[in-house]
Amino acid sequence: MKTSSKREAFLLLDDGLFIKGTAIGKSSTQGGEICFNTGMTGYQEIYTDPSYYGQIIVNTTSHIGNYGVFDKDQESDHPQISGLVVNYYSEVYSRHKADGSLQDFLEDAGIVGIADVDTRMIVRHIRSKGAMNAIISSEPDKEKLKEELAKVPSMEGLELSSVVCTESPYIVGENGRYKIAVLDLGIKKSILTNLADRGCACKVFPAKTSYHEMEKWKPDGYFISNGPGDPSVMDYAVDTLKAILNGGKSLFGICLGHQILARACGISTFKMHHGHRGLNHPVKNLKNGTCEITSQNHGFCVNSDIRKSDLIELTHVNLNDDTVEGFTVKGKKAFSVQFHPEASPGPHDSRYLFDDFIKMIKS
């Protein structure tokens, strides 16, 4: 395990907040949109989720790194975040099956981070001021950091799915009974695992693949994945979903896929104040009245005007802020949710949605 001597690091936010701490990961300078995740576990899954591409993550749990990293916990082939902000950082890990330390993991991936800072204060600041760009660096000159921070693009208006998606099609669950064409907008590996475990042969296509090209494979249904970026600038994906809906086959979307499906039905999306990111978001299932404790990761949301649409039936709402969490398309075999059912096992499990998708295909 690599050991790092204590090095200074600095965090600068767009609104001028300037914080000194200890450098972790690689010594460098990196910027991105700063946001926080309230999950108490699963830091490796967060860092490797393509939906976090280009973002600086603040972990609200106070101890990070204490159980190391494990290859099978990866949600993609490598970390996707731009930077990391934590309170207490442990280079020593105790998990018996860990493959290595978080420090080695971050250094090898070139991820810049800062520790020994008051993450509670930073989270309260973001909740009050809203999501914004930030930069982490070992450079102490605030004015120089301001110049670098000004070069970091805003997440609003960015198309990123084509950056993080697969370059060429591949298959997961080759011998599966149901052929599922997966439009990769930044998919997590655990989503594909949940589909394969239910007898699906998933062919994963790059984000900008046309409906016509996917239909050549003669799939039984379509899955539209999660991913990073602004759905309002993804007209190519909206056009693909319109074609899928017209084709009449079963369709299931998660997170960004949920937002793109809404736009395909004429419903707009918007940038949230500070987004939903964590493992503990309560969502009401309007079909049966139950509350589901969900995993979420999104900075954009479907407009509440969806409630007025004749094309849509609302199925899930967020109990914290009443935002749209799920819907079905009337007269079509299509539905979507904003949260991540693959990441919510337990007594309030939302993985039944994958089963619902299979039932829809079979019907």
Total Cβ atoms within 10 A of residue 331 = 9
Closest CA to 45 of 283, 346, 293, 343: 343
Q: Cβ distance 211 to 172 under 8 Å?
A: no
Residue type (1 letter), 112: V
Calculate the CA dihedral of residues 310, 312, 318, 322 and round it to 10 degrees. Answer: -10
Contacts of residue 261, defined as CB under 8 A and 6 or more positions apart, other chains included, come to 224, 241, 251, 253, 329, 334, 336
- Cα–Cα distance for residue pair 6/290, rounded to 1 Å: 49
- Cα–Cα distance for residue pair 18/109, rounded to 1 Å: 25
Task: Give strand pairing partners of 171.
Answer: 203
> What length does the chain have?
363
Closest CA to 258 of 339, 318, 343, 336: 336
Residue type (1 letter), 256: L
Output the DSSP codes for 273-298. Answer: EEEEEEEEEEEEETTT--EEEEEEEE
Closest CA to 35 of 278, 334, 266, 203: 278
Q: Which residues are catalytic?
A: 255, 340, 342
- Cα–Cα distance for residue pair 38/32, rounded to 1 Å: 19
Closest CA to 210 of 195, 196, 222: 222
CA 136 to chain centre: 21
